Structure 1
Amino acid sequence: MLTQKAKYALRALIMLAEQPDDRLVLIADIAERENIPRKFLEAILVELRKQGLLYAKRGKSGGYRLARPAPQITFGEVIRLIDGHLAPIPCASKFSFKPCEDCGDPNLCSVRWLMVQVRDATANVLDHCTLADALRHRQSTGGLALMFDI
């Protein structure tokens, strides 16, 4: 299940992807527009900056912007950075495998077999959807908010 933290991270990144000409956006503006608690957003943006997804500038003319173009940032990358693995259960994880306590042999477990397929299908979708794709969807549905001066 996607955490609230990952949802907020994706919403903030999509908003930053909307900005023309690498415009820097203040945390307060992101928080207000996306209805994200400011303190929680600050922690998320710091984490995304440390992971190389955001560029930050301090000071009067500071703010945040994407560190890479929107077509190069996938939902899968963001979710993995924020939430960790994509697997619905630990024994289906590629990178954080942990066998279930009540399972004799994970290789014979039919539940794990199905959850690995779910993980792979989920990863395929998330790894092929970028921030640019989300912007196109937003524009096609009329959901693109007007740009505002910062």
Structure 2
Amino acid sequence: MLSQKAKYALRALIMLAEKDNGDLILIADIAERENIPRKFLEAILVELRKEGLLFAKRGKSGGYWLARPAAQITFGEVIRLIDGHLAPIPCASKGSFRPCEDCIDTQTCSVRWLMVQVRDATAAVLDNQTLADALRHRQSTGNIAANFDI
């Protein structure tokens, strides 16, 4: 299940993608527009900056902007950075594999077999959808600020 933290990260990044021209956006503006608690957002943005997705300028006139074009940042990348693996259960994870405590044999487990398929299908979607795709969707639905003067 997608965590609230990952949802907030994605919403903030999509907003930053709207101004994907190097202009700074203030934390307060993101928090207000996306209805994200400011302190929680600050921690998320710091984490995304440390992971190389954002640049930041400190101080009174500071803010954040994308470190890469929106078309180069996938949902899968962001979710993995924030939540870890995409697998619904630990034994289906590629990077964090851990057998279930009650499992007799991971090679013949039918639940694991199915959850690996779920993981692969999920990754196929999330790794092929970018912030730019989400921004295009947002624009096509009219859910973008017509006057984005931040």
Both proteins in one fold, TM over 0.5: yes
Match of 1:25 in 2: 25
Structure 2 residues without counterparts, runs of 5 or longer: none
What is the CA distance between 1:147 and its match in structure 2? 4.0
CA distance in 1, matches of 2:82, 2:147: 27
Mapped contact 1:19–1:147 kept (Cα < 8 A): no
With over 3 angstroms needed to count, the CA separation of the structure-2 counterparts of 1:71 and 1:28, relative to structure 1, is same
Match of 1:2 in 2: 2
Match of 1:115 in 2: 115
Match of 2:124 in 1: 124
Mapped contact 1:49–1:56 kept (Cα < 8 A): yes
What is the CA distance between 1:149 and its match in structure 2? 2.6
Deviations 1:84-135 (A, max 9, x none): 0000000000000000111110000000000000000000000000000000
Deviations 1:9-42 (A, max 9, x none): 0000000000152110000000000000000000
Matched position secondary structure for 1:64 = strand
CA distance in 2, matches of 1:84, 1:59: 31
1:57 paired to 2:78: no
1:105 paired to 2:88: no
Matches within 5 A, 1:131-150: 131-150=131-150
For 2:57, give the aligned amino acid.
Answer: K
Mapped contact 1:56–1:65 kept (Cα < 8 A): yes
Match of 1:41 in 2: 41
Pairwise CA RMSD: 0.9
Structure whose residues are more often helix by fraction: 1
Match of 2:72 in 1: 72
For 1:84, give the aligned amino acid.
Answer: G
Stretches (4+) displaced over 6 A: none
Structure 1 residues without counterparts, runs of 5 or longer: none
The count of aligned residue pairs is 150
